[in-house]
Structures are given as C-alpha cells and as structure tokens.
C-alpha cells in the first residue's frame, strides 16, 4: 500500500481516537515506538494511574473501613467485572469472574473438570502449546497417578505445515473417544496465531463423552467468541495481553451456566467462593456462590483490579464488533506489508493462517536464517515485536492503539532488514 492508502485508512478509522487512551512508549529518539507486542503485554491505559491512585488514597484515608466505605467498596469490588467480561467471551455474567492468575485458574478448573478414570483419563491438546499450560496439565495428570507420556495426546501439524486443521482435530478426538476425559485447547495458539474453531471442537469433545476447556490468553480482547452458545465447559485467561491490564494483572475464568448449581462438582474452595450472605459468619460448611464466582478463593485483588477496570471500560466503549473489523483490516495490511518484503526470498514466511476467520491480530513469521538479527534490527529501530525460539517473530497490531501508519513504518524497516540479511 502507498502512503496515501495508510493515511486514508487512519483518517477513516472509527477507533483512531482510542489510541489517545494509552501511553505509547518512547524510543531512544524520544519519539513514540511502533508497538506490535500487545499479544505479550498490552499498553497502559492512561486512566490506570488515576484509578490506582483512588484506591491508594482510600486505603490511606480509610484503612479497613475501605471495604465498605471506599468510593468503590472493596468487599464487592469483584462484582463490577462480570458485566464487562461477559461480552468479551460470549457469556452470561454469572458464568465469568475476575480472579487469580491464568495458571492458578487453570489448576482450579482442572481440579473440577478433569476427573480421570482408569478407562478415561487422556487429555487431548494442540502440540507446541504454551509451556505453562503444558506444565499444569502434566502435573495434574501425575497428581491423579497417571503417566503424561500416555495420557497427554498432543496433536501435531502435518509435516511441512505449521497449523492444525479442524478436521484433523476432530478426527483425533474421535480416535480417542473411548479414553478422552478432557479436550483442552487454546483459543488462539500463542506461537502461530491460529484461532481454533472452538464450536466444532466443543461439539466433537462432548460427542466423545469428554469435557472441553479453553485457554483464552491470546484470544480474549482479540477475537469474538460465544462460549455459552458453544457449550464450552470452562475457560481461563490472563488480562495483560490484549486486555491491557498490566504485568501480572488479574486473570479470569468462565464456567458454563449448566455447572452453576452443581454442588457435586469437586473444587478447591476458598472463603470468597462461599455464599456472600454468610461469608463473614465464619461458618465451617462451604456453600458455593452460584456460577463462576463459586470458584473464587480469596478476596479481590483491588489494586490490580483497579487497572483492569480502566482497561475493560475502553473495550466496553469500543465494542468487540468494531475492534474485530479493524483487527481484520489492520492485520491484512500488515500481511500485505510482510508479503511485499519477503517476495524475493524463500528464507522466511508467514505461518499464521491466511483466512481472517482463523486468526486474530497476530502474524507469525518463521525464518530459515537471520531471524534473530532481523528481530534485533526492528527493536533498535523502535519497532516493538517479539521473538519466540527458535526462529519466529510475532507481529501483533492491536486495534485499540496501533495505527495504519505504524504498520507502514514497520514495513519500511522490515523490508530494509530483509534485504540486508536475507
């Protein structure tokens, strides 16, 4: 695309004004960097500082009384989040909760929904999935006395390809239908950027007699979902990537409504998951809150949640429908830019699906050589992407703050580095 093309796109961008809601880091030249790392750590909402200061001031001025008399009382702080989170995952408010961190929530959900037996104890998942998920799943399998080498069914791409087809996934589920206890997938694969067909995966899993869980770390705030309609059993996520809620920000969980009142479902319990009407009576018997809130362990992490609230307010105002339109246009522009830079070499290629229906705001580029040098050159030029060993640069144009001019600037630097090293 030409200068006129990206200038016109920026001029007509309905979301262009949201860029001003975020702090854009400055490079060595004191100019804003071109930031393409929202799939790793989103940028800071400008409103975050004021929201955090409000809670610090209430703590300073009120002490323990802040639980009931702060501007946003801490006792019920978590109650502000279901209405904001539900639209981002296609859920009912009762089905979502902001709490803990991603892997803590994954362990909580696996405790409840991975109930292996001698006949049915395998977990089906995508190969090369995020290490933390793999570690959690492997440890849960060992905790139940099974061998991960036998119980973890990792579906690998066909040799010579990088992504899984939905048919391939469904076939694997059907092949293991007699042993599958759980099908556990990412919404969007962290390495390739592939957005999996969660509806068909859930249908195949349930038809095989297994439950289905999803890690939405790279999906929430990135792609549109309908977890309730798709009958996903549970999902977990973090908030520091596309949700822009800060490093180590509060995670979240989804539990389908059909499990809301199932008191027989095993869980690891904590006092904040207990019925809030009797929570402070310190009774010995646990009586779970209905829905996802019943999996809470401890009281709300108010300081990180204050930041999380400012980020979610931006999503509520922008709307995932508009975010998705720009995501596809922006990612398509970045795809065209990368293709133009690589058209004279066979030493690098985009491995993310070309079909916008099967990807989010991410393009992963695999290199046969010199990938690290190109990555370091981009960083030195103020183009912030990330590197995944052994040979992949991930480029993630986040619709809320990435402009088309950013993509054009990335293209100029990327093409010069490709010509230099490839």
Polymer length of the chain: 422
Distances (CA, A) of 173 to 39, 81, 130, 150, 206: 29, 34, 20, 15, 10
Q: Is 285 exposed, middle or buried (0-12, 13-18, 19+ CB in 10 A)?
A: exposed
CATH code for the domain defined by 3-32+319-421: 3.90.1150.10
Q: What b/e readout covers 288-325, taking b as 16+ CB neighbours within 10 angstroms?
A: bbebbbbbbbebbbbebbbbbbbbbbbbeebebebbbe
Topology of the domain covering 53-316: 3.40.640
Q: What is the pLDDT of residues 261-284, one digit of tens each?
A: 787 899 999 989 998 888 877 778
Cis peptide before 60 (omega within 30 of 0): no
Q: What is the pLDDT of residues 50-65, one digit of tens each?
A: 999 999 999 999 999 9
Copy the structure tokens of residue 354.
Answer: 């070309």
What pTM was computed for the model? 0.96
The answer for residues whose C-beta is within 8 angstroms of residue 12's C-beta and 6 or more apart is: none
Q: What is the pLDDT of residue 2?
A: 53
Q: What is the pLDDT of residue 202?
A: 98
Q: What are the residue ranges spanned by the domains of the chain?
A: 3-32+319-421, 53-316
CB atoms within 10 A of CB 346: 8
β-strands 34-35, 152-155 pairing: unpaired
Q: What is the pLDDT of residue 262?
A: 83
β-strands 180-186, 348-350 pairing: unpaired
Q: What is the pLDDT of residues 13-47, one digit of tens each?
A: 999 999 999 999 999 999 999 999 999 999 999 99
Distances (CA, A) of 217 to 41, 249, 309: 11, 12, 18
The ranges of the chain with pLDDT < 50 are none
Q: What is the pLDDT of residue 161?
A: 92
Q: What is the pLDDT of residue 280?
A: 79
Copy the structure tokens of residue 343.
Answer: 């058209």
**CA 137-138-140 angle, 5° bins:** 65
């Amino acid at each position: 695309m030409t200068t006129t093309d990206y200038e016109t796109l920026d001029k007509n961008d309905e979301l262009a004004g949201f860029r001003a809601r975020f702090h854009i880091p400055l490079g060595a030249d004191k100019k804003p960097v071109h930031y393409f790392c929202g799939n790793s750590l989103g940028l800071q909402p400008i409103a975050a500082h004021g929201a955090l200061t409000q809670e610090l001031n209430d703590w300073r001025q009120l002490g323990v009384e802040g639980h009931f008399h702060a501007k946003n009382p801490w006792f019920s702080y978590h109650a502000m989040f279901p209405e904001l989170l539900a639209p981002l995952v296609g859920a009912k408010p009762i089905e979502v909760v902001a709490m803990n961190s991603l892997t803590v929530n994954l362990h909580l959900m696996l405790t409840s929904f991975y109930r292996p037996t001698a006949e049915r104890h395998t977990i089906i998942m995508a190969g090369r999935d995020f290490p933390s998920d793999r570690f959690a799943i492997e440890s849960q399998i060992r905790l139940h006395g099974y061998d991960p080498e036998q119980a973890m069914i990792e579906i690998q791409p066909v040799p010579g390809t990088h992504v899984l087809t939905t048919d391939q996934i469904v076939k694997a589920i059907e092949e293991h239908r007699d042993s599958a206890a759980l099908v556990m997938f990412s919404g969007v694969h962290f390495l390739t950027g592939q957005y999996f067909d969660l509806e068909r995966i859930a249908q195949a899993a349930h038809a095989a007699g297994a439950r289905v869980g999803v890690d939405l770390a790279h999906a929430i705030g990135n792609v549109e979902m309908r977890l309730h309609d798709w009958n996903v059993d549970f999902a977990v996520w973090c908030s520091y990537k596309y949700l822009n809620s800060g490093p180590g920000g509060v995670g979240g969980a989804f539990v389908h409504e059909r499990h809301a009142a199932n008191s027989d479902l095993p869980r690891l319990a904590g006092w904040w998951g207990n019925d809030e009407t009797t929570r402070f009576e310190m009774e010995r018997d646990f009586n779970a809150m209905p829905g996802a809130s019943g999996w809470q362990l401890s009281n709300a992490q108010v300081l990180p949640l204050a930041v999380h609230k400012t980020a979610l307010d931006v999503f509520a105002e922008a709307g995932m429908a508009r975010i998705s339109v720009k995501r596809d246009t922006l990612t398509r522009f970045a795809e065209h830019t990368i293709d133009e830079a690589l058209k004279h070499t066979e030493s690098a290629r985009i491995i993310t699906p070309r079909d916008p229906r099967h990807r989010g705001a991410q393009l992963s580029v695999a290199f046969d050589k010199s990938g690290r040098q190109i990555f370091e050159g981009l960083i030195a030029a103020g183009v912030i992407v990330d590197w995944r060993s052994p040979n992949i640069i991930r480029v993630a144009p986040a619709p809320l703050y990435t402009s088309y001019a950013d993509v054009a600037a990335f293209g100029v630097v990327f093409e010069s580095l490709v010509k230099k090293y490839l």
